Structure 1
Amino acid sequence: MIVHCPNCDKQLKLTDKIWDSVQQLGPGKKIKVKCVHCALPFGLDVSSLKQARSGHHQAHPASDTSSLGGRVRPPAPPNVEWLADGTFDEKEVVEDIPRALVLMPESVNRDAVVQAATIFGYRVEQALTAEEAIENMRFVNYAAVFLHEHFEPGGIGSGKFHQFMRMMNMSRRRYIFYVLLGGQFRTLYDLQALACSVNLVVNDTEIPFIGTVLKKAIPEFETLFGPLMEELQVVGK
């Protein structure tokens, strides 16, 4: 089945497995796929399947070439009925913006992390306590979380939030880029990150360069785990 990417308008041929997953979606549900041409994600739902099928039939109608003397009929103009009443799915657009949760004491370093995450494309939110952060996590699917070792008085080892993240179900945890920051960490040291059950560790001295660190770490994370997570999402895991 052929669909058009809404970002670059190029055609994509999707696998039967993806279409089977789309057909099983409930009302209002979508799955995300990534365009192989522009690398940007977009949502597919049951209506996408119907449009793709109708577009396929309209692209090759028996009467098109005969009625136009052998010429191909151009595509129909877009439906603009929504302009009159202003109905536009703004909520979906907002939700497509990845969110980041920054948990750090007030400092210049926190400002640097917030600025870097914003430049990287995240909509940044903050919490003042571990309890507030955990409550936010229950209702929001954050794409990234930044936790400083001094956010809680007990530190990361005995902190409530880090324990909450460590106990999180992997079906959700694998989609969160989790970063620990503090004086005890060695920036970009993957072995230390693995031992702490996070994706990245950053030392306080390198926080002013957090933007450069993210430019290196996040693409590597997406390259390594992106295809796997897309397949797991298709099968509902």
Structure 2
Amino acid sequence: MNVNCPHCGKQMKLGGKIQSGLEALAPGQQLRVKCIQCAQPFGIDASMAGASVPVSQKKTAIRPPDPPDISWLKEGDYEETETVEEVPRALVLMAGVPARDIVVADLEKLGYKVELGESAEGGMTRMQFVNYASVVLHSQFEKSGLEGTFHSYMRTMNMAKRRYIFYVLIGSEFNTMYNLQALACSANLVVNDKDIQRFSLLLRKTIPEYETLFGPLMEELRLAGR
């Protein structure tokens, strides 16, 4: 299956895992992928998994293909094409419902495969074996609040792993989208309890901004082995 980047037009071939993920999406849900050429993120939905060329187009397709892009030849550099292989995963550590149900549902709408951490220890164990794209923690998940073991684990995590995680803190003590407060708590986003109903909107605004701002830098660090 091939898709074209809406930003630069680059055609990408998606792997079997991402195609299976697309087919499993409910109507209205999307997966977010990043262009291998311009590094800009964009969404793809389930309708693209079964896309086919109309018969009328097949009969009239007499135009020869365009010449290949050889711009890399002039630059003297070549990088092997990468394909998107996995559906992004999110870990949620919240004790309360229905607030937790809202958070889970909103993450799934954005194409995440969501897993629940039943304890701080369980969450840390999961993170040793899974590379989560997003982690959501409620400040009262542990009795000791932000002094608990899981938040301490996130704050002291090696940056080689931490920089690829969009870390969200939820709690009554936070001012929603207050970046200074998020920075002080070593998080990417803070959300007040009263704004959980708009959690999906908050993610749709902040995650693309985060990827646009730090995506190129993280890619450079990845290529440099950092």
Normalising by structure 2, report the TM-score: 0.67
**Partner SS state of residue 186, structure 2:** coil
- Secondary structure of 2:131's aligned partner: coil
Query: Which residue is equivalent to 1:96?
Result: 86
Match of 2:56 in 1: none
How many matched pairs?
167
1:64 corresponding residue in structure 2? none
Structure 1 counterpart SS, 2:157: coil
Say if 1:187 and 1:202, in contact at 8 Å, map to a contact too.
yes
Identity %: 51
How many angstroms apart in 1 are the aligned matches of 2:118 and 2:127? 14
Partners of 2:40 and 2:164 in 1: CA distance:
21
Max Rg structure: 1
CA RMSD in angstroms comes to 2.8
Higher helix share: 1
Cα shift readout 1:125-179 (whole Å, capped 9, x = no counterpart): 00110000000000000000000011111111x2000000011000110000000
Aligned twin of 1:160:
149
CA distance in 1 between partners of 2:164 and 2:176 (Å): 21
Map of 1:235 onto structure 2 = 224
Task: Indicate conservation of the 8 Å contact 2:176/2:190, yes or no.
Answer: yes
* Displacement of 1:231: 1.1
> How big is the shift at 1:40?
5.4
Task: Report the secondary structure of 1:34's partner residue.
Answer: coil
Does structure 1 residue 34 correspond to structure 2 residue 36? yes
Q: Which residue of structure 1 aligns with residue 98 of structure 2?
A: 108
CA distance in 2, matches of 1:214, 1:107: 20
Within the candidate set 130, 133, 138, 1:143 is matched to 133
Which of 179, 189, 194 is the aligned partner of 2:168?
179
Contact 2:35 2:41 in 1 (8 A): no
Please state whether the residue corresponding to 1:236 is helix, strand or coil.
coil
Alpha-carbon spacing, 1:104–1:34, altered in 2? closer, same or farther (3 Å):
same
Unaligned segments of structure 2, at least 5 residues:
12-33, 44-63, 68-82
In the other structure, the counterpart of 1:117 is 107
2:121 is aligned to 131
Are the structure 2 counterparts of residues 39 and 133 from structure 1 closer, same or farther at C-alpha, using a change threshold of 3 Å? closer
**Partners in 2 of 1:103 and 1:195 — Cα distance?**
20
Q: 1:199 & 1:38 partners in 2: Cα distance? A: 19
What SS does the corresponding residue of 2:3 show, helix, strand or coil?
coil
1:145–1:176 Cα contact (<8 Å) kept: yes
TM-score by length of structure 1 reads 0.64
The letter for the 2-side match of 1:108 is: P
Task: Classify 1:6/1:203 alpha carbon distance in 2 versus 1 (closer, same or farther; 3 Å).
Answer: same
Q: CA deviation at 1:7?
A: 2.5
Structure 1 runs of 4+ with >6 Å offset: 72-75
Tell me, in whole angstroms, the C-alpha distance in 1 between the residues paired with 2:134 and 2:103: 12
Q: 1:221 aligns with which of 210, 215, 222?
A: 210
2:201 to 207, 212, 235: 212
Using the alignment, how far apart are the partners of 2:117 and 2:207 within structure 1?
23
Unaligned residue ranges in structure 1 (runs of 5+):
13-31, 42-71, 76-91
SS at 1:184 equivalent: coil
CA distance in 1, matches of 2:40, 2:222: 20
Pick one of 131, 155, 159 that aligns with 1:170.
Answer: 159
